[in-house]
Structure 1
């Protein structure tokens, strides 16, 4: 039996995962902004579901909530950093307040959740961290630049942290789901105020996708959650887990284009070294 800490269990992947784990006999510590959203789960599973109110934009509340979850469960085997939402629209269209809230929730909140768990996992000598990202964590999608910024940011953070903490027996997996039939697209997503000039921009396609309630997403969220749970049991687990045919196509295309671009600059890159340079001494060498 594993103990799990999952942020954002009121809906979407977090809710589905909590339901599946509790049904399987696991224990779950869940955070959400409104406790009543999971009254049914609490009534059904009692002490196996520990709950705390948490808004990731309240940075000061994150560490106390994490510490309380560890105290309540005794140990946590898997952290699932899931809470987040999408801010859609061109970068210029978003208000300053929307930009700050998106960064505070998806990026800074996710960073602080992971940081708050690390001392505990390091002390117990084990743990897995699953960070929910997106296909947008590897591919630039016009009309979601601020959302994509948070996902590229958290992926860089987690990939680096994974190298820092492997020595302590802690592993990380970045989950990259594509579109899924959750409430993300037509529920939690926020659309920035429109600027008419952007009607001619490819960014507007995202607006149409969000606004068209008849369009069905590609991914099955239950199958995706099954894959997430399964990957938490793998040792070693994958650094990244791409879920959905749309994710596979988008990320494959993006990485291929980026690799071709950098390969074309090889000679230029090498030509800018100092004459007596030793490439093995570069600060970003792995």
Structure 2
């Protein structure tokens, strides 16, 4: 087993925590970032030589650059960058405030882009590496009540798709991770629910509000197994472009992509009719 050094944002909870614990347990080094003070103290105490903690708010562009540069300076080489930090903003589009919209985009989309851009010069100079961009089944499928969350995940997937082709000749692999529902704190605790507008109570957008307030559904995915699959993907050569995790993610993505392709195919002749004669 090859020992590697990883940079993981949001290492204090969810997939970031599972990844960090598994990697440290097997002898890898982890530069893990956190926002909540004290949330990774146990990791630092258990693996004082292998776990390097750093505070990071991914909405702070200057802090991203500082943390990434220091991680490389302290560790010498980082083999894998995991862009994991993010959260869900739920509610009908009209229910969201402008500040909520800005913060969701700054965290999930702009923050991921800035993190990867800060890491690229280091990865390029060292001759390669791997990037894992955490997305979601919600980066390929869109449900009512999650419009802004979907906007960020669809956006980051477009960025990562294009990026993968740009950096492959430099020895840098990019994998978009597509988890389905998992038993983490993302759904209950890691998501923000917008204030209610009564007019939407009888619309499909109300479904996500019921899920988050009633707390009656639990994701079928095992986050530890998902983390293990993410780690295993780094051993694949070449990097898989997408890593689908969970039977629910596979079913939803297959149905959405099939329907989208069928819709496109009905327009073959009408599309060609707009070509220049």
Alignment TM-score, normalising by the size of structure 1 = 0.95
| Contact 2:175/2:243, CA 8 A, preserved across alignment | yes
CA drift at 1:215: 2.1
Q: Give the aligned partner of residue 213 of structure 1.
A: 215
Q: Give the aligned partner of residue 168 of structure 1.
A: 170
Partner-residue secondary structure (3-state), 1:235 = coil
Partner-residue secondary structure (3-state), 1:36 = coil
For the residues of structure 1 that align with 2:138 and 2:98, how far apart are their CA atoms?
21
Choose the corresponding residue for 1:235, options 211, 233, 237.
Answer: 237
For the residues of structure 1 that align with 2:127 and 2:271, how far apart are their CA atoms?
41
Partner-residue secondary structure (3-state), 2:95 = coil
| Contact 2:34/2:40, CA 8 A, preserved across alignment | no
Q: Give the aligned partner of residue 13 of structure 2.
A: 11
CA drift at 1:35: 4.0
**Does 2:199 match 1:197?**
yes
Q: Give the aligned partner of residue 112 of structure 2.
A: 110
| Contact 2:137/2:249, CA 8 A, preserved across alignment | yes
CA drift at 1:268: 1.5
CA drift at 1:233: 1.2
Partner-residue secondary structure (3-state), 1:190 = strand
Q: Give the aligned partner of residue 132 of structure 2.
A: 130
Q: Give the aligned partner of residue 89 of structure 2.
A: 87
CA drift at 1:59: 1.5
CA drift at 1:214: 3.3
For the residues of structure 1 that align with 2:77 and 2:53, how far apart are their CA atoms?
15
Partner-residue secondary structure (3-state), 2:6 = strand
| Structure 1 runs of 4+ with >4 Å offset | none
Choose the corresponding residue for 1:187, options 189, 214, 217.
Answer: 189
Partner-residue secondary structure (3-state), 1:255 = helix
| Contact 2:139/2:178, CA 8 A, preserved across alignment | yes
Partner-residue secondary structure (3-state), 2:8 = strand
Partner-residue secondary structure (3-state), 2:232 = helix
For the residues of structure 2 that align with 1:251 and 1:50, how far apart are their CA atoms?
36
Q: Give the aligned partner of residue 284 of structure 1.
A: none
Q: Give the aligned partner of residue 62 of structure 2.
A: 60
RMSD value over aligned CA atoms? 0.8
For each residue in 1:22-54, what CA deviation from the matched residue of structure 2 results, as whole angstroms up to 9, or x when unmatched? 000000001111241111110110021111111
Q: Give the aligned partner of residue 149 of structure 2.
A: 147
For the residues of structure 2 that align with 1:76 and 1:243, how far apart are their CA atoms?
25
Choose the corresponding residue for 2:274, options 269, 272, 277.
Answer: 272
Q: What is the aligned residue count?
A: 275
Quick check: which one's helix share is greater? 1
Q: Give the aligned partner of residue 50 of structure 1.
A: 52
Gaps of 5+ in 2: none
Q: Give the aligned partner of residue 258 of structure 2.
A: 256
| Contact 1:59/1:112, CA 8 A, preserved across alignment | yes
